[in-house]
Structure 1
Amino acid sequence: MKRTVAVVSAGLGLPSSTRLLADRLAEAARSELERLGSPVEIVVAEVRNHAHDLVDHLMAGYPSPELRDVFDSVAKAHGLIAVTPTFNASYSGLFKLFFDCLDDTALTGKPVLIAATGGTGRHSLVLEHAMRPMFTYLHAPAVPTAVYAATEDWGRERDSQGALLERVARAAREFAVATVASEPPAPVSPYRDPVPFEQLLGGG
């Protein structure tokens, strides 16, 4: 059965180390899913491209057609890879805004691989102190291995990337196993439980 993996990357720069990490995780997850016999489609949401639409959605209460397509792709995916830069010991405001605007049932039961980037390794606790609790609240089980990449992890020498590559591979294996076992929630029609017309007229 073909699986779809949504990748949400909240990097701000071009190029972005956050997007670089997201791409490495996505490719590692693809390899592991294919090894398990599951074809995979990767769908990437670059949050910075939807920043204005997210603010408009927060203010107006409804998303633009483009943002609705992004939300739908995340909701329909079998698994999610979520990557944020670290600001002030937490996820970025843009990253949080995306998940604040996403329907609060969209991630229920969906496996998540959480990852973050930052200037130094001392910010790595963002994974356990901020990201994992948020996804727990959203009923999205995060796989045990989270991935943090500091500036020094992007050295040119292969040895300098060894620990990062090992974490990426381990997280991808856990994520692939969880994703193969998951089923995306069936879409809920907004017209499934209509309010009776008499009740609307009565102001109820």
Structure 2
Amino acid sequence: MAQLLKIQTSLFQNSGQSSQLADAFAATWLEKNPGARVITRDLAAEPIPHLDQDRFQAFTTPAEERTAEQKAVADFSQELIDEIKASDVLVLGIPMYNFSVPSTLSTYFDHIARAGISFRYTAEGPEGLLKGKKAVVFITRGGVYGEEHAQSAYVRQFLGFIGIHDVEIIHAEGLALNDESKQQALDSAREQIAQVA
């Protein structure tokens, strides 16, 4: 069964523009993939704990030597990675906060970037291990910053680091400028959904 993993990061949860675009894509994808399923992870509703020294040590401690607390931490991280492994498509709804991604998404990335599990180091450099997947990213911004902004580059670089190189980023910018700019940006993004899905 085909599976889509939808990751929402807007602090407005389902009401956020990025979440609504991700929802629209998921609905269109389901229409084209009867019998498939969508899993949603809302990082605003259920934030991932920030990475601290104890959590990092849980990741690096050999499995057979972990305490019960460390095992719970590592198991939760593995659950997040397994969601990606089991999915054919990832859809991320990402607003711009202070010129970057929401901190909840950065924390999520911290938990799925695991040496030997989601990537490995080789003589030729790092190799992502979560291959064969497509990612569709909706980035919403109040202002206009362009497709080459560092926020977009960061998301693309991280996904590539874990092995996801088929990445489509759809920007909806100028949402805070005026009603006309907002409507045009959202309409353009929705038009692209039909093409990409």
Verify the 8 A CA contact 1:54 1:98 in the aligned structure 2.
no
In structure 2, how many angstroms separate the alpha carbons of the residues matched to 1:13 and 1:23? 10
Q: CA deviation digits over 1:136-162, x for unaligned, max 9?
A: 22221243442335433894x7x8424
> 8 Å contact 2:90–2:136 — kept in the other structure?
yes
Supply the distance in 1 between the matched residues of 2:57 and 2:110 (Cα, whole angstroms).
12
Displacement of 1:3? 1.7
Amino acid at match of 1:82: L
Is the 1:114–1:132 Cα contact (8 Å) retained in structure 2?
no
Distance 2:41 2:178 in 1: 23
1:138 equivalenced with 2:136 (yes/no): no
Identity percentage of aligned residues: 17
The answer to whether residue 100 in structure 2 is matched with residue 77 in structure 1 is no
TM-score under structure 1 normalisation?
A: 0.64
Check whether the contact 1:10–1:46 (CA below 8 A) recurs between aligned residues: yes
Aligned to 2:96: 86
Alignment-derived partner of residue 173 in structure 1: 195
Select 2:40's aligned residue among 37, 40, 44: 44
The structure-2 alpha-carbon separation of the partners of 1:88 and 1:78, relative to structure 1 and needing over 3 Å to count, comes to: same
2 CA distance for matches of 1:26 and 1:80?
A: 12
Gaps of 5+ in 2: 60-69, 120-128
Distance across 1 between alignment mates of 2:166 and 2:190: 14
Q: In the TM superposition, what is the alpha-carbon distance from 1:43 to its structure 2 partner?
A: 0.8
CA distance in 2, matches of 1:123, 1:92: 18
What residue in structure 1 maps to residue 58 of structure 2? 60
- Mapped contact 2:94–2:138 kept (Cα < 8 A): yes
Structure 2 match to 1:152: 176
Q: What amino acid is aligned across from residue 26 of structure 1 in structure 2?
A: D
Which amino acid in structure 1 is aligned with residue 11 of structure 2? Answer: L
Aligned with 1:164 (options 169, 174, 186)? 186
Provide the aligned C-alpha RMSD in A: 3.3
Distance 1:68 1:87 in 2: 28
**Counterpart residue identity of residue 166, structure 1:** S
Whether 1:107 and 2:150 are equivalent positions in the alignment is no
Offset from partner CA, 1:144-192 (integer Å, 9 cap, x none): 442335433894x7x8424323323324532x3xxxxxxxxxxxxxxxx
- Say if 2:47 and 2:104, in contact at 8 Å, map to a contact too: no
1:129 counterpart SS class: helix
Question: Considering only CA atoms, is the larger Rg found in Structure 1 or Structure 2?
Answer: 1
More helix by share: 1
The unaligned stretches of length 5 or more in structure 1 are: 177-204
How many correspondences in the alignment? 169
Task: Give the deviation of 1:96 after TM superposition.
Answer: 1.8
3-state SS, counterpart of residue 83 of structure 2: helix
User: 3-state DSSP class of the match of 1:94?
Assistant: helix
Task: Output the amino acid matched with 1:6.
Answer: L
CA contact (8 A) 1:9 1:44 kept: yes
